[in-house]
């Protein structure tokens, strides 16, 4: 057994042990669905980042940076991470205040509508099962690559590892393992960055070499590589592309179920706000380190093919074996944490929102509670079995599934989620048709693109067209539908501030996070100026002078 195989098996065993420990504390439905609504900031922060960053961050996006587009990934991150703050303040804390078990159950309570809960539940099953499939394939691909296991064995290993602990421990286990995985992949990517920069001749040498890199000109210029060889012809095209996709993914971060459902587990509204602040800081730092590191790998090996394998190449060829194995485990951890979150949410939706009663009132008796707990576990196992069946039978299409599944919720839920809290005019009918329209437009446009009938321009991205269509549908349908008294009363109740949230000591602690953000922002701006912008400018000017000298 080689070091990589051993590392993977040990890390999987650790996650199972943590899941087992957490599972023993699951007594009620609330423990299983929302971790007893008692999670502190560190666990919500860990699960927010871990469930968002899947293998795609270390494989797909790192590959994109290796090809010369790290600055675009960085610009996108600027926009999409703001979704944490906007989402927490304008939706997340009200979702927590609702004390429902799932996000679709919140929509039901807000609009007094079973059909909205059913539709939201179905969209979770469709979108997150597809995402789960993509992540399962991604992880199996890495395991196949580094261990030599065959693909079927790798798929089974991955599936069994995330299914077992999620099935037994539910959200209690998921947030604990997510946080451990977040610490693991964050720590190892920072260590990896040091090794990459060292192998490239040190920080300033690396910046100078990349600034004048002939094979991929503009690799770390603010717009990345542009020109006839790549998708973006001009720097403004690149900027517009990154900004539009950044905003679109920002909506995903703000309202998607695999992010906002984490807030249902928070101990208080202050935990919601603090964890969103922490997630913003962590994501900005992680993306900066990961993508600049991936671009720097060009100076060590410019011929990695496919580019998606950049981090795997680093693990196998640049790092000492033990650290390489930990890096692979870190990348897998990013995938496993997302997979466990997706599996748990799909299971909850099937058992609670689609097949179950869908209300929290029915779960008061102990026997009934246990029965619902069993139903949720059976639903999760059934979903897991379907996913593994599909993973073994279907042809692999990781990129498309990821691009389809994540943004689906921005189009379908984005407008309705925010209006459910902030609009008095939205009716049940408006909310339902808004969701259906956003979902339909997004899926329809993606299907046309996948079939090769049309190539959508970036300004008509299916995510954004879906959002706009959803808003128009809400406005039109809300004109015809009635405002129910139950829905209006529920909305008013959402805006009543719970007295326990006004503790001055707790408010002071939350304000510390805003000060940390300001301080970190100043530090990052200063560090990027001194260690990136200025040396880059000097290197380019020097290269231009040399070129002029030659010409004269």
63 to 82: interface string for other proteins, x by CB under 8 A = --------x--xx--x--xx
Six-digit token pair at 390? Answer: 């599909």
Cβ closest to other proteins, residue 75 vs residue 325: 75
Q: Smallest distance, Å, CB 529 to other proteins?
A: 5
Nearer to other proteins, 371 or 503 (CB): 503
Please, which of residues 421-450 interact with other proteins by CB under 8 A?
422
Residues of span 162-221 touching other proteins by CB under 8 A: 220-221
* Distance separating alpha carbons of residues 286 and 333, to the nearest angstrom: 15
Site string for other proteins, 476-515 (x = CB under 8 A): -------------------xxx---xx-x--x--xx-xxx
Task: Tell whether residue 522 is a contact of other proteins (CB under 8 A).
Answer: yes
> Do residues 232 and 238 touch, judged by C-beta distance below 8 A?
yes
Stretch that binds other proteins, among 23-31, 34-42, 371-379, 527-535 (CB under 8 A): 527-535
Least Cα distance to 215 among 68, 354, 113, 88 occurs for 68
Minimum CB separation of residue 218 from other proteins in Å reads 10
Q: What is the 3-state secondary structure (H, E, C) of 318-365?
A: HCCHHHHHHHHHHHHHHHHHHHHHHHHHHHHHHHHHHCCCCCCHHHCC
Helix (H) or strand (E) holding 422: helix 398-422
- Joined tokens for residue 471: 């808003």
Question: Tokens representing 450?
Answer: 């996948």
**Nearer of residues 81 and 164 to other proteins, judged by Cβ:** 81
158: left (phi over 0), alpha (psi -120 to 50) or beta: alpha
Closest distance between other proteins and the C-beta of residue 378, in Å?
40
Q: Which of residues 71 and 335 has its CB atom nearest to other proteins in the complex?
A: 71
CB of 212 to other proteins, least distance (A): 14
Query: How many Å apart are CA 26 and CA 9, to the nearest integer?
Result: 26
Please report how the helices 366-393 and 114-147 are oriented relative to each other, as an axis angle in degrees rounded to 10: 50
Q: How far is CA 362 from the centre of its chain?
A: 32
Backbone angles phi, psi at 222, to 5 degrees: -60, -25
The one among 182, 195, 404, 536 contacting other proteins by CB under 8 A: 536
* Dist CA 410 CA 256 (whole Å): 7
3-class state of residue 220 by DSSP: coil
Contact pattern from residue 273 through residue 302 relative to other proteins, giving x for each residue in contact according to CB under 8 A and a dash for the rest: x---x--xx--x---x--------------
The yes or no reply on residue 223 touching other proteins (CB under 8 A) is yes
The residues, ordered by sequence, that sit 6+ positions from 16 with a Cβ below 8 Å of its Cβ are 161, 164, 165
For residues 75 and 265, which CB has a smaller minimum distance to other proteins in the complex?
75
Q: How far is the CB of 433 from other proteins (least distance, A)?
A: 25
What residues line the site for other proteins (CB under 8 A)? 71, 74-75, 78, 81-82, 85, 89, 220-223, 235, 270, 273, 277, 280-281, 284, 288, 422, 495-497, 501-502, 504, 507, 510-511, 513-518, 520-526, 528-529, 532-534, 536-537
């Amino acid at each position: 057994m080689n070091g990589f195989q051993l590392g993977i098996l040990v890390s999987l065993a650790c996650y199972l042990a943590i899941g087992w420990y957490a599972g023993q504390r699951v007594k009620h439905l609330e423990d299983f669905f929302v971790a007893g609504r008692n999670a502190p900031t560190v666990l919500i922060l860990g699960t927010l980042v871990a469930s968002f960053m899947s293998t795609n961050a270390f494989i797909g996006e790192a590959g994109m940076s290796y090809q010369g587009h790290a600055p675009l990934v960085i610009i996108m991150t600027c926009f999409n991470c703001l979704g944490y703050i906007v989402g927490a303040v304008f939706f997340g804390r009200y979702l927590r205040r609702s004390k429902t078990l799932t996000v679709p159950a919140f929509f039901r309570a807000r609009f007094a509508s079973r059909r909205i809960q059913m539709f939201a539940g179905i969209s979770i099953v469709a979108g997150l099962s597809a995402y789960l499939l993509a992540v399962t394939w991604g992880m199996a691909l890495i395991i196949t690559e580094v261990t030599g296991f065959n693909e079927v064995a790798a798929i089974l290993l991955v599936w069994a590892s995330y299914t077992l602990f999620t099935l037994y421990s539910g959200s209690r286990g998921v947030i604990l393992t997510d946080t451990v995985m977040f610490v693991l992949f964050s720590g190892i990517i920072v260590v990896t960055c040091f090794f990459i920069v060292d192998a490239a001749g040190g920080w300033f040498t690396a910046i100078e070499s990349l600034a004048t890199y002939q094979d991929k000109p503009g690799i770390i210029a603010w717009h990345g590589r542009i020109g006839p060889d790549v998708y973006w012809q001009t720097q403004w095209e690149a900027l517009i592309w990154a900004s539009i996709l950044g905003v679109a993914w920002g909506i995903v971060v703000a309202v998607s179920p695999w992010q906002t459902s984490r807030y249902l587990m928070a101990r208080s509204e202050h935990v919601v706000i603090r964890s969103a602040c922490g997630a913003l800081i962590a994501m900005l730092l992680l993306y900066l380190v990961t993508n600049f590191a991936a671009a720097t790998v060009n100076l060590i090996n410019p011929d990695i093919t496919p580019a998606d394998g950049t981090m795997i190449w680093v693990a196998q060829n640049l790092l000492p074996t033990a650290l390489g194995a930990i890096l692979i485990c870190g990348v897998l951890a990013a995938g496993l944490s997302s997979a466990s979150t997706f599996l748990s949410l799909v299971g909850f939706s099937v058992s609670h929102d689609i097949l179950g009663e869908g209300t929290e009132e029915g779960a008061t008796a102990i026997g009934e509670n246990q029965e619902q707990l069993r139903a949720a576990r059976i639903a999760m196992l059934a979903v897991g079995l379907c996913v593994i069946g599909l993973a073994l039978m279907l042809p692999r299409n990781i990129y498309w599934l990821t691009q389809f599944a994540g943004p689906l919720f921005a189009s379908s839920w984005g407008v309705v989620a925010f209006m459910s809290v902030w609009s008095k005019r939205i009716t049940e009918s408006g909310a339902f048709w808004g969701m259906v329209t956003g979902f339909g437009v997004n899926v329809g446009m993606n299907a046309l693109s996948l079939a090769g009938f049309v190539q959508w321009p970036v300004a008509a991205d299916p995510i954004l067209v879906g959002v706009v269509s959803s808003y128009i549908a809400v406005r039109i349908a809300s004109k015809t539908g009635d405002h129910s008294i139950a829905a209006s009363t529920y909305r008013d109740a959402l805006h009543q501030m719970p007295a326990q949230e006004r503790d001055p000591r707790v408010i002071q602690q939350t304000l510390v996070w805003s000060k940390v953000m300001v301080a970190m922002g100043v530090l990052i701006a200063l560090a990027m100026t001194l260690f990136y912008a200025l040396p880059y400018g000097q290197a380019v000017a020097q290269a231009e002078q040399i070129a002029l000298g030659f010409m004269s």
